Amino acid sequence: MPPFFIKMTKLNITFFLIIVGISFSLVYLSQGSKEGPKVGAQEPSVIEELADNPEKQFKRIIDYHQLRIKRRPSDYSNYNELARVYIAKARETGDLNYYIKAETLLEKSLQLNSENYSGNLYIGLIKQAKHDFKSSIQYVEKSIQVNPKENYAYGVLGDAYLEIGDLSKATEMYKRMHKIKPSLESFGRLSNLKMEKKDFDGALSEMQNAYDLGAKNSNPKENLAWAQAMIGSIYFDSGKPGQAKVHYEKSLEIMDDYYLALKKLAEFHEEENNYKEAEKLYLKVLELNSRPEVHHALSHLYEKSGKKALAEKHSIKAKEMARDYKDLGFEELHTHSHSH
């Protein structure tokens, strides 16, 4: 909060940090926009039937926000709220078409009000997903001009600067974010900075702070599962695979089907040459979230274990999906491993 290759990249980490700040568990439904009035539609409630049926729940959320747009088509905030749902769904499923839907909504939002904070911020996020960092910086800077007291946009701006290699500006933005309001996201970004400097102990400390504050603030389970998976990933990168495994499993105790932790655990078993267990976990990840990086990982695993036909099959699938992403304007899909 997820990479094309076995090792995660900094953009995989920062992209999750982007998304986690605007995504919400589909169990915790929209609370209405702070930028515009609510309309008369009944907001979806969390009930057992929907909690046990995520797709039905998702459809109800979409229907609700579409009804808001229909009733108040001139209210830009309604477009922002539906875009936020689509962005969260794109991150969850890996389906880039949801990003495209979100971008169309955000363009309409900015047509109605070019000065709105969320519209500029959210479209800046999508530009980052497309590797269009120059445009992302322009949009996010505009959101900061609109509301300089909101901490989250500084983090997103720092992410863009980090990706273009400006560590100094990235550090400045992350520190501003954290000074305004410490959060799971701000601690996660500070951890990312420490990783840039190969300061594993510092990175672990900041990511533990992220988890602790997230738990204290009752952040959604997926955010907490991500933080544990990232602690594990830092241990793994620092040459401590046994400790990494402990935290991947802690992540799965929080969410037993959390695909990032499952993928990281698969990578652990692959490194331990336990190919059968790695295959089992990768296939489970694929069922949850079909992404090119998972097909690539399976191809790599099958190549090492001598299963040439399966290796070729998944290699072809990874390349096909990567081409599809490029056709949609995305260099690759960044997720929370990553990219959170």
Residue type, 291: R
Can you spell out the DSSP letters for 228-278?
A: HHHHHHHHHHTT-HHHHHHHHHHHHHH-TT-HHHHHHHHHHHHHTT-HHHH
pLDDT of residue 325: 81
pLDDT at 16: 53
Residue 88 included in any domain: yes
Reported as a single tens digit per residue, the pLDDT across 57-106 is 889 999 999 999 999 999 999 999 999 999 888 877 767 889 999 999 99
Instruction: Tell me whether residue 177 is in a domain.
Output: yes
86 falls within a domain = yes
**Which pLDDT value is given to residue 25?**
33
Q: Which residue has the higher pLDDT, 251 or 290?
A: 251
- Take residue 285 and report the two structure tokens written for it: 């990840």
- Domain assignment present for residue 105? The answer is yes
**Which one has a higher pLDDT value, 322 or 175?**
175
CB 179, CB 34: distance < 8 Å: no
Answer yes or no: are the C-beta atoms of 254 and 224 closer than 8 Å: yes
d(CA 125, CA 77): 17
- Neighbouring C-beta atoms of residue 288, cutoff 10 Å: 17
pLDDT in tens, 294-308: 999 999 999 999 999
Report d(CA 97, CA 76) in Å as an integer.
21
CA distance 22 to 223: 11
Residue 31, C-beta contacts closer than 8 angstroms, at least 6 positions apart: none
- Give the residue among 75, 76, 86 at the shortest CA–CA distance from 23: 86
Contact assessment for residue 218 and residue 231, using Cβ atoms and an 8 Å cutoff: no
In a domain, 255, yes or no: no
Average pLDDT taken over every residue of the chain: 84
* Structural domains of the chain, count: 1
What is the domain extent for residue 54? 29-181
In a domain, 298, yes or no: no
Is 10's pLDDT higher than 90?
Answer: no
CATH of the domain at 162: 1.25.40.10
pLDDT at 11: 44
DSSP letter assigned to residue 36: S
Higher pLDDT, 34 or 191: 191
Residue 297 in domain: no
pLDDT digits (tens, 9 = 90+) for 141-171: 999 999 999 999 999 999 999 999 999 999 9
